[in-house]
Amino acid sequence: MFKRILIANRGEIAVRIIRTCHEMGIETVAIYSNSDRECLHVQLATQAVCIGPSKSSESYLRMDRIIQVALATGCDAIHPGFGFLSENADFVEMVEACGLVFIGPSAASINALGNKMAARTLMIAGNVPVVPGSLAPLKSLNEAKEIALEVGYPILIKASAGGGGRGMRIAHNESEMESAYNQAKLEAKQCFLNDEVYLEKLILNPKHIEIQILGDHFGNVIHLGERDCSIQRRNQKIIEEAPSCVLTPEIREKMGQAAINAAKAADYTNAGTVEFVYVNGEFYFIEMNTRIQVEHPITEMITGIDIVKEQIRVEANLRLNYTQEQVNFNGVAIECRINAEDFRKGFIPTPGRVEYLHFPGGMGVRIDSLLYQGYRVSPFYDSMVAKIIVHGTTRLEAIRKMRRALEELMITGFTTNQELLYMIMHSKDYVKGNFDTGFIEAHIDEYLQEGAE
């Protein structure tokens, strides 16, 4: 087993990884930027090293410095967390060339899945259902129009190299095609230096359902069930739950198998997530994320499996601790992301100093957070400051627990989205499981009014 792991990240995910490392008897090295000196991950790690100025490109994205620190502090492995360098194949190669272990998939898998069109091609070959659309990058606007006629409008033009919701354009009919095609291409070139685009049918009112995968270096791949992440704003997830309240056991089984096929098609090892859009019993692959995800704790709550621990074990060349038959699902878990943002002012970020802090507790409540009283939330990084995760025997029990946890939660000093989450937890549609990826957009006006009264 590894003796010392460098965590190439910050915030709550760095804290999350440090916790498992210490439970496994592994020492940790934290890295931090100038403005992160007071961060919780810096205080919890065995040791911490400053790697540069606040700007991520000069600190958390500096591959050379991070690897130098890992070597100088005698680390044998690097865990990338999510974001930053976690899906950067060049970083994986550089880490390995320096004799260190990257705790994540291979550079080849990241490359194969990082390009969405390439991933789509791989999935088609691996018999994974994909959204109807083009089978290769689009060669011309005319070709795009022909395929659109075949699959039916509305359609999406997507950048092959896209991510974070960028490089995506909708066309509702043929007259919108030219502008959607040109704009997607332009944005793709500007954001990703690659103007390759492809076409997908726009699935109306889908749920976003994803499957957690784990693979080892002995050819074993298992899935840990699904997460419903449909409550999103502009493609950013806000509330997630596991399992999904709409899947039948047959569809769950099929999706799990499709996700395993997806992982096998990419020779995938370590933790990954296969994302699908789902509507009326049909599901279609949209992409595979080659890292640990923000919402992984809900899967941990219903399976009792520490995903970070499995990630570390796999790269220490151990077999997965579980066979598919040994994965048991218990109850329902929900996660709410607490963001330092003001939903009444167009969701603007509201970083500030924590004046008073009380986290909820009690049975079945887990908090993953970077906050402590007196901590000043940095304006330089992501606005997510805490994740409240609850676990109940039934979905209704989990919802009641989340309401209670949100009632108890007290963060003063800056505005958060706590109230918005609380209103969603009381929404009839949410409680009935009657929601899709358009939920926030459909309800936001009502929430803005409700709280203002």
In a 10 Å sphere around its CB, with 0-12 CB exposed, 13-18 middle and 19+ buried, how is residue 223 labelled?
A: buried
CA–chain centroid gap for 60, Å, is 18
The two beta strands, 197-201 and 332-339, are unpaired
Selected from 10, 62, 208, 223, the binder of ligand ADP by CB under 6 A is 208
Closest to ligand ADP by CB, 43 or 235: 235
Distance CA 222, CA 93 (A): 26
Selected from 6, 75, 156, 320, the binder of ligand ADP by CB under 6 A is 156
Does 438 sit near ligand ADP (CB under 6 A)?
no
Shortest Cβ distance from residue 210 to ligand ADP (Å)?
A: 9
Does 203 sit near ligand ADP (CB under 6 A)?
yes
Selected from 115, 311, 418, 437, the binder of ligand ADP by CB under 6 A is 437
Shortest Cβ distance from residue 83 to ligand ADP (Å)?
A: 13
Does 262 sit near ligand ADP (CB under 6 A)?
no
Does 188 sit near ligand ADP (CB under 6 A)?
no
Selected from 275, 295, 300, 310, the binder of ligand ADP by CB under 6 A is 275
Residues 217-236 contacting ligand ADP, CB under 6 A = 235
Shortest Cβ distance from residue 264 to ligand ADP (Å)?
A: 21
Strand segments, DSSP code E, in 164-219 are 166-171, 197-201, 207-215
Does 10 sit near ligand ADP (CB under 6 A)?
no
Does 331 sit near ligand ADP (CB under 6 A)?
no
| Dihedral-angle region of residue 285 (phi above 0 means left; psi in -120 to 50 means alpha; beta otherwise) | beta
Contact 367, 336 (CB under 8 A): no
Task: Tokens for 420, please give them.
Answer: 């918005």
Shortest Cβ distance from residue 79 to ligand ADP (Å)?
A: 22
Shortest Cβ distance from residue 169 to ligand ADP (Å)?
A: 12
Residue 43: which residues within 8 A CB-CB, separation 6 or more? none
Shortest Cβ distance from residue 155 to ligand ADP (Å)?
A: 8
In a 10 Å sphere around its CB, with 0-12 CB exposed, 13-18 middle and 19+ buried, how is residue 74 labelled?
A: exposed
Distances (CA, A) of 228 to 29, 280, 295, 432: 34, 14, 10, 14
Q: How many residues bind ligand ADP (CB under 6 A)?
A: 17
Shortest Cβ distance from residue 268 to ligand ADP (Å)?
A: 17
Examine residue 243 and say whether the peptide bond preceding it is cis (omega within 30 degrees of 0): yes
Does 434 sit near ligand ADP (CB under 6 A)?
no
Shortest Cβ distance from residue 237 to ligand ADP (Å)?
A: 8
Contact 139, 117 (CB under 8 A): no
Picking from 129, 132, 80, the residue whose alpha carbon sits closest to that of residue 103 is 80
Does 277 sit near ligand ADP (CB under 6 A)?
yes
Closest to ligand ADP by CB, 158 or 401: 158
Closest to ligand ADP by CB, 81 or 133: 133
Shortest Cβ distance from residue 18 to ligand ADP (Å)?
A: 28
Does 238 sit near ligand ADP (CB under 6 A)?
no
Span from 118-126, 197-205, 218-226, 339-347 in contact with ligand ADP (CB under 6 A): 197-205
Residue 76: which residues within 8 A CB-CB, separation 6 or more? 2, 3, 4, 5, 100, 101
Q: What are phi and psi of 236, to 5 degrees?
A: -100, 120
Residue 215: which residues within 8 A CB-CB, separation 6 or more? 221, 222, 263, 268, 269, 270, 272, 314, 320
User: What angle, rounded to 10 degrees, do the helices at 249-265 and 116-125 form?
Assistant: 110
Does 379 sit near ligand ADP (CB under 6 A)?
no
Which residue, judged by CB position, is nearest to ligand ADP in the bound state? 203
Closest to ligand ADP by CB, 2 or 84: 84
Question: Which of these is catalytic: 10, 252, 291, 337?
Answer: 291
Selected from 12, 200, 310, 335, the binder of ligand ADP by CB under 6 A is 200
DSSP state of 278: E
Selected from 163, 349, 352, 364, the binder of ligand ADP by CB under 6 A is 163
Distance CA 347, CA 430 (A): 21
Known catalytic residue: 291? yes
Does 292 sit near ligand ADP (CB under 6 A)?
no
Selected from 165, 374, 379, 451, the binder of ligand ADP by CB under 6 A is 165
Residue type at 188? A
Selected from 206, 215, 256, 392, the binder of ligand ADP by CB under 6 A is 206
Span from 21-29, 202-210, 371-379, 411-419 in contact with ligand ADP (CB under 6 A): 202-210
Contact 157, 169 (CB under 8 A): yes
Residues with active-site annotation: 291
Residues that bind ligand ADP (CB under 6 A): 131, 156, 162-165, 200, 202-203, 206, 208, 235, 275, 277, 286-287, 437
